[in-house]
Amino acid sequence: MLIADLHIHSSYSRATAKTLNPENLWLAAQRKGIGLLGTGDFTHPVWLQELEQKLVETGDGAYELNPESARALAAEVPGPCRAPVRFLLSGEISTIYKRHGVTRKVHSLILAPDFAAARRINARLDRLGNITSDGRPILGLDTRDLLELCLDEAPEVIFIPAHIWTPWFSLFGSKSGFDALEECFDDLSGHIHALETGLSSDPAMNWRLSALDRYKLVSNSDAHSPAKLAREANLLTCEPTYPALAHALSSPGGEGLAGTLEFFPHEGKYHLDGHRKCGVRLEPSETRELGGLCPVCGKPLTVGVLSRVEDLADRPEGYLPPNAPNFESIVPLNEVVGEVMQRGPATKGVTQAVEQLLAEVGPELFILRQAPLEELERVGGPVLSEAVRRMRAGEVVLEGGFDGEFGVVKLFTPQEREQLKGQGSLWREAPSTRRQLKKKALTKPEPAPPLLSLAESTGDRLNPEQQQAVAHRGAPLIVRAGPGAGKTRVLVARAAGLVEEGAAPGRVLMITFTRKAAEEMAGRLAGEHPAAALVKVSTFHALGREILAQALGRELVILGETERAALIKELAARFELRPSWAELTLTRLKQQVHPEPEAEIAPLWQAYESALAERGALDLDDLVRRAALALEESADLAHTWGARFDHVLVDEYQDSNQAQVSLLKFLLAGGASLAAIGDPDQAIYGFRGASREGFLRFAQDFPGAMGIGLTRNYRNGEAILQAAQGLLASDPDPGRLSLSAQAGPGVKPVWAELTSPKAEAAWVAAKIVELTGGLDSRQVERGDAGELAPRDIAVLYRLHAQAAPLAQALAQAGIPFQVAGQEPLAETDPLDFKAQRVSLMSMHAAKGLEFAAVFVVGVEEGLLPYQPPNGEPADLGEERRLLYVAMTRAGQSLFLSRAKARSLFGVGGPRAASPLLGDIPTGALRTERVVSRRRARQIDLFA
DNA sequence: TCGGGCAGTCTTTTT
DNA sequence: GACTGCCCGA
């Protein structure tokens, strides 16, 4: 019989023993009696490298410690324990992602057939996330997609959902799992053959689900230290090779896998239900009676494994399937001896006694399972043999674990201990009074924010104003819509409505400002109505390009951004002008169809234009302007494009500039209808020639215009909206709409002041861990868990230069993230577009997006409003709107923060809070006092 | 013609 | 703080 423990961790995983290296694993495996051991953490490149150096292949994907090391270490293995140890490459991956609107956190055990396959899988994972920060990496990837990736790289991969019943991180977990395996793995469900039952459940509990009949049940230790190896394990009758194991775990018959060694499930940390903080432990029936709520704090209970099994079970307790594999419940030897000696399982005396047993009897699992009781009595005394007998017979006293608290298994009653006292060699040790473990006072966690509806609008129905905007026909329409008012929804519904009324979809034009917005819009249109998918969606730039290409009869040569900068730099030097100023000024000029360059720029303007002409090239800004010019110059062209569309819709109208409006007028010349939507309070592209005034001038540009206001905000909690609207009040506008929050009161935005950008980044990372409900179980067990997925969270900054420390802190915390606009450096993976991560992006880039939680960092003087060194004075109004945009991205939670000192472009020193902060009404924010970590540790020590 | 040293510069974005 | 471009000496 071969004992296999396939799920362990290395020292490269969080909260694991530093001694977890190949040599110590080899030693520990023999002491336990394990013949086949997973290496753990093969996804960690450094660990994998160490394994490659220290292990040699024995053929068929199994490895052993190199002979030199084995010889050198042999003396350290107690004689009766010496036996061969084979390794298989194993690892665990944590996926955290949103599926069907619910945050899912699932752990998967993966066995790779050989080093080459492990490296292939790692190469793919490396492109999708951070696999170096932790031996058990966290990826924002759907578990199904992870399986697909593994199958792509190694079709023979063994993929096992890990500890399937634990509440926080598992396939069937009550907090973030699924009700059926197929919900998780979809079309790839057939590739799953085995399930890991975890410490808190045993096979008997799993047999109660007929849905699991077709799966092999395996048990592993998930050890974080050598001592915990094989606390659960598998009994194999097959050869110690990868293919043999793969066969044993997938063959429909029983061959190969004879059974498992199990914890008493009660001893697991999540067997029963309850609240650790409230001291409430409940049986499943009690939980049901209480409606799942804690009788002390009233919040939802942490529902444990037993409850969860009962919820999904379709068979009664005690059901025994035909040909049920065997399983044995065991208690770790140091716990057995600890109880015999009335000492803690990790105390010196117990350790010595265990050592003696290993040296005289054999490996731990042999002692627990097979050693003759007489022999145990001879070495350890009658109490020990009686303890082991009871364990083998299942005569134990159990106290179920709950909400992260381990359960207790007792072999003796106190009276028995008295009676047995004084007998046997192990018993001679004087019992010490058990020290009461002093529990650290838990910091009181903040109340969990009430979940707000993030729905963009009220279900399927449009509100009356939205409806009016959709149904309006005739005169040009301008819709002024605050954040979260359902702009996109109105545009999509309007376009679809026009098509349904009989408009030819190809003659309906939807204009956006970015390609991303265009793509999203096209997707939404396709979802709304099959014919609406044919509506033309384009950016102003793409449209200009199309018009110009037609006018010129050829494809355009467009000067790249770097070439343009180089050219301007060259010319600026010739005319003794600052290149950055020249670039900006040229761009601004080109936002008009007929620019009038002022004297200072005129020579450069002319030189630049002739340089372009010489190359037969255009720059980006030319696309719209030149298209408008071409339409002015050619009546034919103007006629063609004036008749091209029957309906034109424009998104984000506050971003349009004079050249774009001019182009728009040409498109409407043949009588097409116009509907524009936007929010002048979100005009943040003044540097590109767009101004809020352009929006307010709509009625002059398009006479007879009809205006509609959308005032119901479906995105932000009321507290967030109030703070944001308060900010704007410093910039009065009689036309401004007063918005009403539909999503409930929500919680106040948080304001925090940190000492440095690094401290600020660390604070953000810690908050994100909280919001996602912890990324590992230790974090989860600390308190109330948030339920956001990484993709629900964004960190917004004024300058890209702020991204670096944030990225570093998030990487360190193992949070999947992406920095917008600087991805193409690394090779992209086909699964990249599906990966879900925390977004780090500029406030500008965040316009039009929404997130459940938003961090606005660097709310500091000089940074917001940004004051460029020796540049023009900042446009306070525009920067205020920028902060407004940033704040209104947040649905549930908004965090504003600053560093008290920051060095920007080399100049360091203290920095005040942003003057814009003073525009937010006092009381609209909740200031969070942040204690630095060093200080916090001191307080902790003296408490 | 090379390279070391020094001064000047540093947003936000569109195909 | 990091990069570029320019000047100057060898």
A569 CB inside 7 Å of strand C: yes
Distance, angstroms, CA A906 to C1' B5? Answer: 19
Q: Does residue A365 sit in the same domain as residue A489?
A: no
Confidence of residue A324 (pLDDT cuts 50, 70, 90): confident
Confidence of residue A447 (pLDDT cuts 50, 70, 90): very low
Confidence of residue A423 (pLDDT cuts 50, 70, 90): low
**A61 three-state secondary structure:** coil
Distance, angstroms, CA A698 to C1' C9? Answer: 64
Buried b / exposed e over A606-623, threshold 16 CB at 10 Å, is: ebbeeebeeeebbbbbbb
Distance, angstroms, CA A903 to C1' C1? Answer: 9
Distance, angstroms, CA A218 to C1' B9? Answer: 62
Count of other CB atoms within 10 angstroms of residue A891? 25
The arrangement of strands across the sheet holding A890-899 comes to: A817-819, A838-842, A793-797, A851-856, A890-899, A750-754, A926-928
Q: Does residue A751 sit in the same domain as residue A876?
A: yes
| Residue A719 maps to a domain | no
Q: Which residue has the tokens 């050592």?
A: A355
On whether the CB atoms of residues A478 and A676 are closer than 8 A, the answer is yes
Chain C, protein-covered positions (CB within 7 A): 1-2, 5-6
**Residue A488, annotated as binding a ligand:** yes
Q: Does residue A394 sit in the same domain as residue A266?
A: no
Strand bridging mode A647-650 / A508-512: parallel
| Residue A581 maps to a domain | no
> Which of A15, A272, A246, A17 lies closest to A113, judged by CA?
A246
Distance, angstroms, CA A563 to C1' B2? Answer: 27
For A29-53, write each residue's pLDDT tens digit.
999 999 999 999 999 999 999 999 9
Rounded CA separation A474/A830 (Å): 46
Rounded CA separation A34/A283 (Å): 35
**Residue A482, annotated as binding a ligand:** yes
Count of other CB atoms within 10 angstroms of residue A45? 16
On whether the CB atoms of residues A675 and A835 are closer than 8 A, the answer is no
Q: Does residue A316 sit in the same domain as residue A349?
A: no
pLDDT at A428: 41
Instruction: Name the region of A667 (left: φ>0; alpha: ψ -120 to 50; beta: rest).
Output: alpha
The beta strand positions in A843-925, using DSSP E, are 851-856, 890-899
The letter for the amino acid at A877 is G
**Phi then psi dihedrals of residue A674, to 5 deg:** -130, 130
pLDDT at A444: 35
| Residue A801 maps to a domain | yes
Distance, angstroms, CA A222 to C1' B11? Answer: 49
| Residue A513 maps to a domain | yes
Confidence of residue A787 (pLDDT cuts 50, 70, 90): confident
Q: Which residue has the tokens 């699932």?
A: A106
Rounded CA separation A477/A699 (Å): 9
Q: Does residue A861 sit in the same domain as residue A783?
A: yes
Shortest CA to C1' contact from A558: nucleotide: B15
As to burial, measured by CB atoms within 10 angstroms (0-12 exposed, 13-18 middle, 19+ buried), residue A470 is buried
| Residue A439 maps to a domain | no
The residue among A714, A748, A775 that closes a domain is: A714
The residue among A300, A326, A352 that closes a domain is: A326
Of chain A, the percentage scoring pLDDT greater than 70 comes to 92
Rounded CA separation A900/A916 (Å): 16
Number of H helices, E strands in chain A: 34, 34
Of chain A, the percentage scoring pLDDT greater than 90 comes to 67
Q: Does residue A756 sit in the same domain as residue A902?
A: yes
Distance, angstroms, CA A869 to C1' B4? Answer: 28
Q: Does residue A311 sit in the same domain as residue A365?
A: no
Shortest CA to C1' contact from A517: nucleotide: B14
pLDDT at A821: 72
For A91-118, write each residue's pLDDT tens digit.
999 999 999 989 999 999 999 999 999 9
A557 CB inside 7 Å of strand C: no
Q: Does residue A223 sit in the same domain as residue A320?
A: yes
A475 CB inside 7 Å of strand C: no
Parent domain of A901: 740-942
**Residue A516, annotated as binding a ligand:** no
CATH number at residue A651: 3.40.50.300
Mean predicted confidence (pLDDT) in A583-592: 90
A573 CB inside 7 Å of strand C: yes
Helices (H), A844-891: 876-887
pLDDT at A784: 56
pLDDT at A887: 97
The residue among A307, A326, A345 that closes a domain is: A326
pLDDT at A95: 96
Q: Does residue A139 sit in the same domain as residue A233?
A: yes
**Residue A324, annotated as binding a ligand:** no
- As given in the structure block, the two tokens for residue A579 are 């290149």
Q: Give the number of domains in chain A.
A: 4
Q: Which residue has the tokens 């814009």?
A: A916
| Residue A437 maps to a domain | no
A866 CB inside 7 Å of strand B: yes
| Residue A512 maps to a domain | yes
Q: Does residue A523 sit in the same domain as residue A646?
A: yes
Mean predicted confidence (pLDDT) in A248-273: 89
**Residue A587, annotated as binding a ligand:** no
For A696-730, write each residue's pLDDT tens digit.
899 999 999 999 999 999 999 999 999 999 999 99
| Residue A603 maps to a domain | no
Q: Does residue A322 sit in the same domain as residue A199?
A: yes
A417 CB inside 7 Å of strand C: no
Angle between helices A602-615 and A579-589 (to 10 degrees): 80
CATH number at residue A40: 3.20.20.140
Rounded CA separation A766/A145 (Å): 28
**Residue A211, annotated as binding a ligand:** no
Q: Does residue A298 sit in the same domain as residue A341?
A: no
**Residue A464, annotated as binding a ligand:** no
Mean predicted confidence (pLDDT) in A247-261: 90
pLDDT at A866: 92
On whether the CB atoms of residues A400 and A272 are closer than 8 A, the answer is yes
